[in-house]
Structure 1
Amino acid sequence: MLIAGACLLGILADGTGPGTAQAEDTLTVGISDDVPPICFRDNESKLVGFDVDLLQEIGKRLSRPIVFKVIEWDKKIEELNSKNIDLIASNLSITEERKKVIAYTEPLIQNAQAIIVNATSPIHTKNDIIGKKVCLLQDSNSIPIVERFNVKSGSTIKFSFSSLHDCLISLISEEVEAAVLDLTPLTYYSNQNPGQFRILADHFGEDDLAYGLRLSDRALLTQLNETIRAMQLDGTMKSIHERWFGSVK
């Protein structure tokens, strides 16, 4: 049984449903609610995590109420540019390709595209996944990286694509032999399930996590970055980070 310290099956948004108008000063944030400790549901299905606390504090300082809306993660940019949401949060990696269509706040968390296996697996390096069944997160930053690696190594890796939670369930049941996912939630899951998983020291590169918004929302981007910097200077960012990660890098 996979333990995440929370119920991960909640599908209802904490905001309004599709097509429901928000007040003009409200910031609607598109999220995935199964990315602990960044954004997930506790045992009472309450939305909690680093991004929840951080964005609520940002909203307070900007006098703009925050509404969290669970979205289909592979449609996050479409949701943003269709103005169904104002921000993308919960584990959004900064990539050069995405910079062409969305703007990013300043980086918030350092991340990596990590490889996780069962504790008893013979896999110890990324070369060991050649010829294996590997699960990737749908529409994730790891997909093009691992696909390029696959081509260079002879195109023998067999891929499946799923949610983070389902990738780990597939790993436990040995339907796949490894998963390439974001390091931040993997570390949390591994700590919550001692003896079940092993995260390899070898990985597919580091990246940064930030919030995404429309390219046209320059004023909002400035406000967000100024607020983030202020929270870094006054210690609020450190306090929130330590609440969910234990220490600040």
Structure 2
Amino acid sequence: MKKFLTVLAVLTAACALFVSCGKEKKADNSLEDLKGRGVFVLGLDDSFPPLGFRDDKNEIVGYDIDLAKEVAKRLGVEFKAQPINWDTKELELNTGNIDCIWNGLTITDERKAAMSVTKPYLDNAQVVVVRNDSKFNSLADLKGASIALQSGSSAEDAVDAHPDFKDSLAEIVPYEQNLLALMDLNIKGVDAVVMDVVVAEYTIKTSGFPFHTLSENLASEKYGIAFRKDDILLTNEVQKILEEMAADGTVAQIAEKWFGTDISVIGK
């Protein structure tokens, strides 16, 4: 009997040790692995000016691109911009196709639970863009109207967060890109577009479209950079470098290039 109890105690202890080991957190080699690969792959929607978009030479440029290139340089690795379908951005990240999502990603509690997200680097809001010759002056005026938005974006979340406004609309038309939604607005295919104010203001200014934004917004937001959930060391290193760039004036210089003023909130 004693022998049986002894064996049982040993087996119990072994099982407890196995369970304990199974619960051990996986080692975080994210920063080391990135430097070993030698390339920092940024996932983005390449039609999101002025944060990341294609210029007239079909090269991917923008505010986020310039920031990320400098981060990669200070990490001692090469930089690669990888266009992705924004609707499947988390899948692209978790399967290892990209190292981060860095392109106007709105920080939400849901995203912070699913990914490792930096501190905010830009403020943003979800606004409604209308034609200058339209009758719409407020959100209430849009009752019975059709609106367009980017599928899988925070614009979609903002509309969902206002059920009374959503239910008052005649139609919500999803698009893969904001630019396609704005082009539809230009030919009066829809009555309005819900999108990021940063992108809306830049596009209106540079495109010549006869648009303006309503004074009421649907949501105030902050942009962050998202990494895989367990890639804490890489997240922290990128955050550290960004704060160093803010302190030495690099961030302000990049912001002034794209916005005419320093609108960054890094380190502030």
What is the TM-score of this pair, normalised by structure 1?
A: 0.87
- Which among 17, 25, 28 is matched to residue 41 of structure 2? 28
SS of the equivalent of 1:84 reads coil
CA distance in structure 1 between the aligned counterparts of 2:109 and 2:262, rounded to whole angstroms: 26
- Which among 101, 105, 118 is matched to residue 105 of structure 1? 118
Matched residues, number:
227
Displacement of 1:147 in angstroms is 2.5
Displacement of 1:58 in angstroms is 0.3
- Give the partner amino acid of 1:59: A
CA distance in structure 2 between the aligned counterparts of 1:233 and 1:244, rounded to whole angstroms: 19
Q: Does the 8 Å CA contact 1:95/1:141 hold for their aligned counterparts?
A: no
Match of 1:14 in 2: none
Displacement of 1:153 in angstroms is 4.5
Match of 1:18 in 2: none
Q: Does the 8 Å CA contact 1:104/1:211 hold for their aligned counterparts?
A: yes
Displacement of 1:73 in angstroms is 0.8
Match of 1:10 in 2: none
What is the TM-score of this pair, normalised by structure 2?
A: 0.81
Is 1:215 matched up with 2:229? yes
Is 1:199 matched up with 2:208? no
Is 1:237 matched up with 2:251? yes
Aligned 1:42-57 pairs, distance under 5 A: 42-57=55-70
Cα displacement string for residues 15-52 of structure 1 (whole angstroms, at most 9, x for unaligned residues): xxxxxxx9613111111111111111111111111111
Aligned 1:12-161 pairs, distance under 5 A: 24-149=37-162, 151-153=163-165, 155-157=167-169, 158-161=171-174
Q: CA RMSD of the aligned region, Å?
A: 1.5
- Give the partner amino acid of 2:68: L
Q: List gaps (5 residues or longer) in structure 2.
A: 1-34, 264-268
Is 1:183 matched up with 2:204? no
Q: Does the 8 Å CA contact 2:52/2:63 hold for their aligned counterparts?
A: yes
Cα displacement string for residues 135-177 of structure 1 (whole angstroms, at most 9, x for unaligned residues): 011101121321242x324723110000201100110111110
Cα displacement string for residues 109-151 of structure 1 (whole angstroms, at most 9, x for unaligned residues): 11110110011111111122222100011101121321242x3
- Which among 180, 186, 189 is matched to residue 166 of structure 1? 180
If you compute each CA radius of gyration, which structure gives the higher value, 1 or 2? Answer: 2
Q: Does the 8 Å CA contact 2:160/2:166 hold for their aligned counterparts?
A: no
Cα displacement string for residues 37-82 of structure 1 (whole angstroms, at most 9, x for unaligned residues): 1111111111111111111100010102111111111000011011
- Give the partner amino acid of 2:232: R
**Relative to 1, partners in 2 of residues 1:195 and 1:52: Cα closer, same or farther, differing over 3 Å?**
closer
- Give the partner amino acid of 1:87: C
**Relative to 1, partners in 2 of residues 1:217 and 1:197: Cα closer, same or farther, differing over 3 Å?**
same
Q: List gaps (5 residues or longer) in structure 1.
A: 1-21
SS of the equivalent of 1:131 reads coil
SS of the equivalent of 1:155 reads helix
Cα displacement string for residues 189-231 of structure 1 (whole angstroms, at most 9, x for unaligned residues): 1102346101111111210112111110011011011001101
